[in-house]
Amino acid sequence: MTTLNDIEQLSFLGMRLALRKTIARDTLWTHAARCARRRNDNLRYWINNQELSRVKIVGLEYLRKAHEAGRGAVVTSFQVGPYNWIPLVLNKKADLPTTLLMDAANFQEEQRRWDARESSYTDTLIDPVKYINSEEPTAIWKMVCALRERRTLIGWFDGLTGTTASQSPQSAVSVDFCETQILVRMGLAFVSAKTGAPLILAVTHNDGIGGMVVRFEAPLTRHSSETIAGFCQRASQTFVSILESEVRADLPCWEEWCHFNLRNRFEPMLPSSSILDDEGFLEKNWRMNAENVEVLKMSEGEVLVSLRCGTALAMTPLMNSLCQALSQERRGTEIVSALKHMFSETELKLALRTLYESHFILPVVTSKNQDKSSREVSLKV
């Protein structure tokens, strides 16, 4: 079970991956703790309450015009603030029926919550909220049907799951975000491009306890000369740029920091062939690549994480001993000699190579080690 501490640790990791060049570690830790608590508070309010006390909507005219055109509308939002309430707000404040795209893990729970709310629903819509399991083979067909029925199709832009069919909606595009690049699913943009339904971003913020502000951005539509892939790329970069503005203004606001490592575009691991044989490997001096390594204190134990390639290693006694030995520059032979009474030479060599291939450690070129092969290894790192 994921604990609040785990969410905080993973949120910190996400923030480090995106912003480690410009924001100090201690500052990110503070923001990560706030993010985890805010995430918990928003979820608790959503579960325990039937409605919001105050709602302010900006840009509703974009949705109205979309529905007047007869093609429905595709609304997407970040997991920022009280985003869960968007379908119910559109039911109550705009009299618009909605269809919500959900991943399989949350599909039944969300339907159960709506069933509980439906008993107190008193407005005029026949089917205020419908749900589509985004991982069903028929998900795309159901999405198109919802739009043909002039419903508002809603999905979370920063979700991690999508249609399981081997078609474009399953694939992702790479976009710039803060100091890195991330992969974004292109499913909703794909559906918009195929059906002609405008794609509209909704951004939500808390307005005190029980209050909400939702802002609908100007709609995006595919240009006549634009490919589907081109539209998906443009829409994804446009929305991610808005998300970046949101998090730079209020870093803890985004709930999905804890899943950021699953989106980040990492560097590849170094191939085994990029380093010398065992003898040459052990003759080199090594040190931890400290600026690109983090240790997360998860509920099930400490985890060593490479910020460059994303590799995560359990902090076993072997890894812990190597990390301590590599806290300062050490020759490979010295490390093996110092630890061989605790671990076999084979275990130590394999672990050292794993640390190198995943960018945890760096070779250090010294005055005694300036041969051609040493310079080549240094350049590869």
SS3 for 295-357, per residue? EEEECCEEEEEECCCCCEEECCHHHHHHHHHCCCCEEHHHHHHHHCCCCCHHHHHHHHHHHHH
| Dihedral sign of CA atoms 236, 153, 73, 210 in order | negative
Residue 375: the pLDDT is: 35
Beta-carbon count within 10 A of 36 CB: 24
Q: Are residues 11 and 150 in the same domain?
A: yes
| pLDDT of amino acid 141 | 92
112 and 207 in a common domain: yes
Regarding whether 92 and 221 lie in a shared domain, the answer is: yes
What CA–CA distances, in Å, run from 99 to 43, 123, 145, 146, 261? Answer: 20, 17, 10, 7, 29
19 contacts 179 by C-beta, under 8 angstroms: yes
79 and 56 in a common domain: yes
Task: Give residue 356's Cα distance to chain centre.
Answer: 26
What per-residue confidence (pLDDT) applies to 43? 87
The contacts found for 335-340 with CB under 8 angstroms, 24 or more apart, are: 335/286, 336/282
State the DSSP string of 154-205. EEETT-S----SSSGGG-EEEEEETTEEEEEE-HHHHHHHHH-PPEEEEEEE
Q: What is the pLDDT of residue 340?
A: 94
**pLDDT attached to residue 248:** 97
Confidence (pLDDT) at 276? 59
pLDDT string in tens for the chain (381-residue length): 789 999 999 999 999 999 999 999 999 999 999 999 999 998 888 888 878 889 999 999 999 999 888 888 999 999 999 999 999 899 988 999 999 998 887 778 777 777 777 667 777 888 888 999 888 889 989 999 999 999 999 999 876 555 444 444 447 899 999 999 999 988 899 999 999 999 999 999 998 888 899 999 999 999 999 999 999 999 999 999 999 999 999 999 999 999 999 999 999 998 866 565 677 888 899 999 999 999 999 999 999 999 999 999 999 999 999 999 999 999 999 999 999 999 999 999 999 999 999 999 999 876 544 444 433 333 232
- Both 373 and 231 in one domain: the answer is no
- Could you tell me the CATH number of the domain that includes residue 279? 3.90.930.70
CA distances from 20 to 70, 194, 315, 336 (A): 46, 39, 23, 33
* Residue 282 domain-assigned (yes or no): yes
Task: Tally the domains of the chain.
Answer: 2
The predicted pLDDT at position 270 comes to 87
Regarding whether 130 and 55 lie in a shared domain, the answer is: yes
The pLDDT value recorded for residue 381 is 28
Residue with tokens 């090594």: 286
Inside any domain, residue 356? yes
pLDDT score, position 243 = 97
| Domain stops at, among 262, 295, 330 | 262
Start-to-end CA distance of the chain, whole Å, equals 37
Question: In the prediction, which pLDDT does 100 show?
Answer: 92
- Indicate the SS3 state at residue 71: coil
Last residue of a domain, one of 202, 237, 262: 262
Full domain range(s) for residue 54: 4-262
Q: Whole-angstrom Cα distance, residue 155 to residue 297?
A: 33
Cβ atoms 66, 198 nearer than 8 A? yes
Mapped onto helix, strand or coil, the DSSP state of residue 249 is helix
This model's pTM is above 0.75: yes
Q: Are residues 150 and 53 located together in one domain of the fold?
A: yes
Within-domain flag for 67: yes
| 71/95 same-domain check | yes
User: Is 188 within a domain?
Assistant: yes
